[in-house]
A and B are shown apart, each in its own frame.
Chain A
Amino acid sequence: MGIINLAPKILDPIPGGKYVVNAIDYVVNWARANSIWPLTYGTSCCAIEMMSSSMARYDIARFGSEVFRASPRQADLFIIAGTITRRMAPALQMLWEQMPGPKYVLAMGACTISGGPFIYDNYAVVRGAQNLIPVDVFVPGCPPRPEALFHGLLTLREKILKETCRDPWHEGEPKDVSTMDRYREAAKTWAALERIKDEEMAEARAKFKEENPDYKSSFKPVRVKKEDFPEVERIACKRFGLSQLDIYKKLKAKFPDITVHTHSEDPIEDVVAAMPADRPLEVMISVEDYLPAVEYVKNDPEFKMNYLIDVTAIDYDDHFDMVTQLRSIEKGHKVFFCVQIKKNFDIPEEERPTALLGSVPTISHLYPGAEVKEREVYDMFGINFEGHPDLRRIFLDKDFVGYPLRKDFTHPQMIKRPV
């Protein structure tokens, strides 16, 4: 930079100097526009399409842009491929600031334009890259095809060709994560335009009717016959291992307090016996029985529940339902423990959204894989795990306020989905 920006100041006053400046402009812009080295940066689906575009079929190298640099210091173009979350935002801004000028930004995909599919009821996604850094070109699509990316690249090329060192490229300012909902603003403008169009249309229609009172349309709607499909019975797949009833009976013998979630009036054993074969047994269990029960099914030779599928939770009004999904690799049967965790309502109401409302013993010493899953439940629901070795937030920043998957969760940046 630097030196050529002085060129117009020195050369322009000299007779004929303008042509020299124009020539410098031409050469420099030609070089910049045709040698765009992108940064290797991708967060999600768009990254795969960005990769596809540099592969044999589409070959971004034809435009001289196959030199994907892993270090931002050597890149010219920042292709923001994929959703940007609030947690990623500082890293994104830092990367942009690390790039030497002149640098260009291409926002790829719906997420980087407006938040895309993640606009409503979302606490994590930044609604558009424009809210963080200045963007030169937007490429719509979810995800855009590689051809669309090329179109964006060529548009950027044209934009660079119009630059001049009389009005040199200057760095924009990185912005704060704002709550701006670009989509809604655009929708408002769109609606206003549509209204004007409708009015004009109505006027035109009235005018037409006045002029041609006898006009009759020859248009007749044709109804396409809908294809007819048969109803098909669902066939549950084969049962492996113990049947639900056996599991229930064995557990009931050991832990008499357990129940099974049901809405019918029939005895529980009948309900369990009537379950389809591919439906796992869900056992309602108390917090006290939870750890002994898991230990029991893990070590009992008939159960051998050695595989933890997942730990998750469901938030109800007065309690959490923490679901621990276990299966036996050898035998093939599954059992889901639904731990009923009563919410601790001793906490004053205004502190509840940010407080840990329940507590349950950890099973991470039995299943090492449970460690991250329990961290996720802690992060999303605010359930404490007693004895967990490393209880930190996992997906959200450590200063994030609230627990998103609770039903009463609110966040200043969340926009309700219009019904």
Chain B
Amino acid sequence: MSMTRLPPGFKITRDTNTEEFFINMGPQHPSTHGALRLALRMDGETIVEIVPHFGYIHRGMEKQAESMSYLQYIAMSDRQDYLTAIQNNLGVVIALEKGMNIGVTEKAEYIRVMLSELGRIASHLVFFGCFGGDLGGQTCLLFGFKEREMIHDILEEVTGSRLTTNFFRPGGSRFDVPENFIDRVKAFLKHLEGAMKDYERFLSKNIIVLERSKGIGILSAEDAIAYGCSGPVLRASGVDFDVRKANPYSIYDQLQFDVPVTYTGDCYDRYTVRIAEIHESMRILYQCIEKFPKEGPWRAKEKPVRLPVGRYYSEIETAKGLYATYVVAATTGEKPYRIHTRGPSFPHIAALNKMAQGHKISDLVTIMATLDPVIPEIDR
């Protein structure tokens, strides 16, 4: 096949003796994690080049936000990274708080951190399931979701909703937590510790998993930084960067936790970093349970959400990585001039080509699983 005229997006030109062909993966494909389309240029089973096509779930959230009030946008943020909707709420709310210049009471901070960490565990459990599932072990998928349901039970009890929580507000949250919240979290953590032991035995030392994930999809530290990767993907490449440590928001500076870092940057490292993060999140939760203030106001004084003219930026560390919200207020009022969200998954998919080149199509599935992208967060 003459490679002089490649379809748009494909760049690499090379002389081959073999016939290359193109495969279209998605937008409906079981392992593209949603409505993502990958155009693959293949040489046999080996991938030559990948061109991702975005936009199949581009919902125009940012345009819509311009006619919404600030509070309404919190509900929109739920629908971006729906695996940890509660953390997205936090990101938006912190930006609004910066604009309104109000603080948060201690109890509210603990509620925020605890729910965010529960959200992080939920997201990583979905990753665990999808990783195993995409490798061919359907049972893993079910195991990951089993414990996640328990987190959703807690979230439902607190926020009233399983998935799209829409819970945090400038100055605190919508409601106080129920009385048995701490007990529920304690019981869940106790259960999770036992379950995680089983699950790690299931995948971490499985020889087929090791064979399929070690040395696959290596992303060097320089590349990871250059592409703007964040979260576990960046940390698996050996860059010690976590917003919770680098720019601590909420009460993360008062809590003891480590940032797990590995140095190879392959699929297995990304997996181990996420598993280690589940354990770190559990550590944070144990500390929060100990320190949780029983008395005290659960939110600060309610104020109308009107932001003065200016630009406000907040960044938090969600389960996927750096989630930044950029709010532009051109007039003092209830409506933003523009809100922009920076989702962590976008650069990961941009770096996919770098990682998957020269690997087999089965490895692409593994790499996609370990990047753990959420497509609506990319397309918005």
Minimum CB–CB distance from B134 to chain A (whole Å) comes to 12
Task: For the complex, give the distance between the alpha carbons of A45 and B161 in Å.
Answer: 13
Binds B, one of A176-184, A230-238, A351-359: A230-238
Our pick among B103, B146, B225, B340 for the contact of A232 (Cβ within 8 Å) is: B103
Check A55/B142 contact, CB under 8 A, given A91-B28, A124-B58, A371-B350: yes
Task: Determine which residue in A87, A143, A308 has the highest number of CB atoms from chain B within 10 A of its CB, and name it.
Answer: A87
Check A309/B228 contact, CB under 8 A, given A57-B149, A121-B66, A280-B313: yes
Do A123 and B228 touch (CB < 8 A)? no
Indicate whether A299 reaches chain B with its CB closer than 8 angstroms: no
Residues of A within 8 A of B55 (CB): 85, 87, 393-397
Minimum CB–CB distance from B23 to chain A (whole Å) comes to 15
Interfacial residues, chain B to chain A (CB-CB below 8 A): 8-9, 11, 27-30, 34-35, 54-64, 66-68, 75-76, 78-79, 82-83, 97-98, 101-105, 126, 141-142, 145-146, 149, 152, 162-164, 171-172, 223, 225-229, 239, 241, 246-249, 253, 297, 299-302, 309, 311-313, 315, 322, 324, 326, 328, 337-338, 340, 342, 346-347, 349-351, 375-376, 379
Binds B, one of A15-23, A36-44, A208-216: A36-44
Do B297 and A118 touch (CB < 8 A)? no
Task: For the complex, give the distance between the alpha carbons of A376 and B41 in Å.
Answer: 24
Fill in one digit per residue for A113-137: 1 if any B CB lies within 8 Å of its CB, else 0. 0000110111111000000000000
CB pairs A–B below 8 angstroms (21 shown): A43-B27, A44-B35, A44-B57, A45-B163, A48-B82, A55-B142, A56-B146, A57-B146, A70-B29, A83-B57, A229-B171, A231-B301, A234-B103, A237-B248, A278-B247, A329-B241, A329-B246, A372-B54, A372-B349, A389-B11, A394-B55
Task: For the complex, give the distance between the alpha carbons of A248 and B99 in Å.
Answer: 22
Task: For the complex, give the distance between the alpha carbons of A122 and B125 in Å.
Answer: 34
Indicate whether A258 reaches chain B with its CB closer than 8 angstroms: no
Our pick among A41, A143, A371 for the contact of B28 (Cβ within 8 Å) is: A41
Task: For the complex, give the distance between the alpha carbons of A315 and B152 in Å.
Answer: 40
Task: For the complex, give the distance between the alpha carbons of A306 and B224 in Å.
Answer: 11
Do A368 and B340 touch (CB < 8 A)? no
Indicate whether A138 reaches chain B with its CB closer than 8 angstroms: no
Our pick among B8, B78, B82, B322 for the contact of A309 (Cβ within 8 Å) is: B322
Do A88 and B57 touch (CB < 8 A)? yes
Interface residues of A, CB < 8 Å — how many?
A: 87
Minimum CB–CB distance from A66 to chain B (whole Å) comes to 10
Indicate whether A142 reaches chain B with its CB closer than 8 angstroms: yes
Do A332 and B247 touch (CB < 8 A)? yes
Do A51 and B145 touch (CB < 8 A)? yes
Do B326 and A323 touch (CB < 8 A)? yes
Interfacial residues, chain A to chain B (CB-CB below 8 A): 39-45, 47-49, 51-52, 55-57, 70, 72, 82-83, 85, 87-88, 91, 95, 117-118, 120-125, 142-143, 145, 229-235, 237-238, 240, 261, 263, 276, 278-280, 282, 306-310, 312, 314-315, 323, 325, 329, 332, 336, 367-373, 380, 389-390, 392-397, 404-405, 407, 409, 416-417
Our pick among A124, A235, A307, A417 for the contact of B59 (Cβ within 8 Å) is: A124
Check A369/B226 contact, CB under 8 A, given A45-B164, A121-B66, A124-B59: yes
Minimum CB–CB distance from B299 to chain A (whole Å) comes to 6
Check A405/B63 contact, CB under 8 A, given A145-B162, A229-B299: yes
Do B56 and A87 touch (CB < 8 A)? yes
Residues of A within 8 A of B226 (CB): 306, 367-369
Residues of A within 8 A of B246 (CB): 240, 329, 332
Do B253 and A237 touch (CB < 8 A)? yes
Do A143 and B164 touch (CB < 8 A)? yes
Minimum CB–CB distance from A369 to chain B (whole Å) comes to 4
Our pick among A40, A329, A372 for the contact of B239 (Cβ within 8 Å) is: A329
Task: For the complex, give the distance between the alpha carbons of A373 and B346 in Å.
Answer: 9
Residues of B within 8 A of A122 (CB): 59-60, 63-64
Do B60 and A404 touch (CB < 8 A)? yes
Residues of B within 8 A of A83 (CB): 57, 59, 376
Task: For the complex, give the distance between the alpha carbons of A170 and B63 in Å.
Answer: 40
Check A395/B379 contact, CB under 8 A, given A118-B59, A367-B228, A404-B63: yes
